[in-house]
Structure 1
Amino acid sequence: MKTRIVCLLSLLTGLAHAQIDSAELNTSIDNIEPKLIEWRRHLHANPELSNREVKTAEYIAQHLKSLGLEVQTGIAYHGVVGILKGDKPGPVLALRADTDALPVTEQVDVPFASKVTTEYRGEEVGVMHACGHDAHVAILMATAEVFAHNKADLAGTLMFIFQPAEEGVPQGEEGGAELMLKEGLFDEIKPEAVFGLHVWAGLPTGVIAYRPGPMMAAVDELGIKVKGRQTHGSRPWGGIDPIVVSAQIINSVQTIISRRTDITQAPAVVSFGAIKGGIRNNIIPDEVEMIGTIRNFNMDTRDNIHQQLEQIATHVAHANGAEVEFNIYPGYPVTVNDRKLSAKMNSSLEAVFGADNVLDSGLITGAEDFSYLAQEVPGLFFFLGISPPESDYKNAPSNHSPLFYIDEDALLNGVRAFVQLVQDYK
């Protein structure tokens, strides 16, 4: 049994070293590192938001075409897929990387820091690969080149999936893995399995983490608009105060998890991320808008939380004479690692990282739309440590932080892992 991350993060770890049989493959992996870092830095300096990854897609497609792969573009707007057929018969396998960045203003002092800005939700913001998708893309580009130069060692066919919009699409749009599948990603060539990775700041370089079965939470976006009636702040009885109503809703919603959900079955979270209403200290506004997130690991629990959220918001508002607009914008389902595939490939991951450095991730309340791919075919998703081992990685700036930092010595480990998984799959 794997030991949980919280018990083993104090391990001193070095770089991982795969035990791949082919000397040519090992040489190709070692030689690809300078390009890998160059690609990552280019992508990091030129980030693009979800469903806007135009130049990123062009950069990826140009590379894949230079390798002689069959390349498909324009899937789910800016998705790119490269197909490589090996010289030996074998299975079809898929490897996936996500390509989009976040509306975060970078604060990391590196020469290739992002200076890109754009408009997001009506505000001017910075754009940053604050979740490491630049690393994911570079790792998969490198893996594609390693196998393209060693087709003789490849048994079967590889699909290199570069997926846009993992961080969520703008309201009113479709995108991401769900749209790629809707537009026929697996219609002509369906893989036997799909593999994906995600860099993780809370793990040191040389360590990975995953778990069989449910691993990452389902996620939905919550939107509540409370409509009252404007009045002067000195005469609150002359209107209906949506700020007070919103506060009551927020407090009441906390009882859904603490008092109405059986958390012995699976964890769940409801959090509000923003509340906006009013503009002046002495004017009670007409309305207040709240947005939040819902996370859980059980689809029945998910439905129950949705029902109770609407019930509370509606009844609290009506009890105070207000009206409410209630919306849940469905997000990603639970990310589940196929148990048979996990058991089959665990030894491959241990060959790369060492048995002591393949850890149990536990349940993670973050979400991933890799979940859609893993619903179609058996999937295996794991976290790659990217903080310097000598650093205080347990307190490192997390994914989505403006201070998010990647130890570039870790990137080659991702390539080794992908190559080992492909080579060992039978």
Structure 2
Amino acid sequence: MSEPLDSDILETLFSFELLVEYIRVEKESKVSDELALGVRLLDFPTLLVHRHQRSGGVIAQRGHDGNDQRGKHAFNRGKSCFFKMNLNSLHANLSSTPLYVMVLDVKEEIPKLVGTSLISLARAMDRISQDVKEHGVSRPSSHGERGVVGVCDLTGKTIGSISLSYKLLSLGASLQPCITNTGLKSPSVHEGEHVHQSIAVKNIPASLPHDRVNACPTTPGVGKTTLVQKACEALVSSGAAAEGFYTEEVREGGRRVGFDVVTVTGERGHLSRIRDVAGSSHGRREHTVGQYVVDLPSFENLALPLFRNVGIAERGGRKVFVIDEIGKMELFSQSFVRAVRQTLDSSSCSILGTIPISKGKPLALVEEVRSRRDVKVFTVSKENRNAILQDILAELENCLKHSTEY
């Protein structure tokens, strides 16, 4: 029998385990053979994983696939930590905040930052939450993943990769009385502005060649929604279908008072309003981003039904689904998060979406989208927003062309 109230009230004991197999650094990046990996989970202290002193130097050989293995630093070491937190609170935090990983050169007294990576723990946490719903908070649950993640330097250039595995365990509430509060704290949630910065185009069919382009930081207010609207208008005029939604500013007397979500067909609903305009939440839990109060029911009522029809292909397969945007306000909705993931993994149409670059901590789903091999990311600025339209249209036309072949 499930225990639905426990996860709302009790703190649960969790364990996080990480194993680093190797770090590979491109030969162009000058680093010593004394590397370490720094791992930051939410606001907890950083974990450091050092190479074993006997693990040898840098590997330089060819693998079974013929690829050059130069620059591979073997680790085969890991770290684990215990912490206690309310399960629902942890779920909400890990849905928007990925694991922050730093590759460090520790040969000198002051470590040098080589590169960083972001790893989403959202899927593992989703599975643990589902286990708790089905079996109760007292039963332990464990989920994790293994793979290779890219490492980028401060300019966003990919300079290497990390092979690792992780496991997130919910050990249940029964051990809670045995754990003291020493060194354990609740993570804080950063509140930043609703920043519009990057446009992502996804070609769904998994059997097609993949493209991946890293987005670079841009300034807010570059007109990316207008650019998306122009792209859709051009596609519709060429015979393609467009569905989905935009996010638009709402101004009163020259002052921005919030944001609306607007469907491609013109339906409009509140996304957020500043506090003195939002009114009472009538006892509902209040979600805020900076000065804006998010109207989650309004957003979900308008946006979620659009995802239910995304799998219905148009004649000839020429359909584009617009998601503007996958941002912090929208990500308060777990139903929206699930819908976006399901849509990205489907094979029914091409997607034109927008993603922000957060002022504070990165958003897990945003980084998932950015790092997918079947997503191409265009960085939009005031200087290139007019010229880049043709590049986006060309990529979308290529996506639509391939979608009609499958």
TM-score > 0.5, shorter chain as reference? no
TM range (shorter): under 0.3
More helix by share: 1
- Structure having greater relative contact order (Cα 8 Å, sep ≥ 6): 1
Give the TM-score normalised by structure 2. 0.23
Give the TM-score normalised by structure 1. 0.22
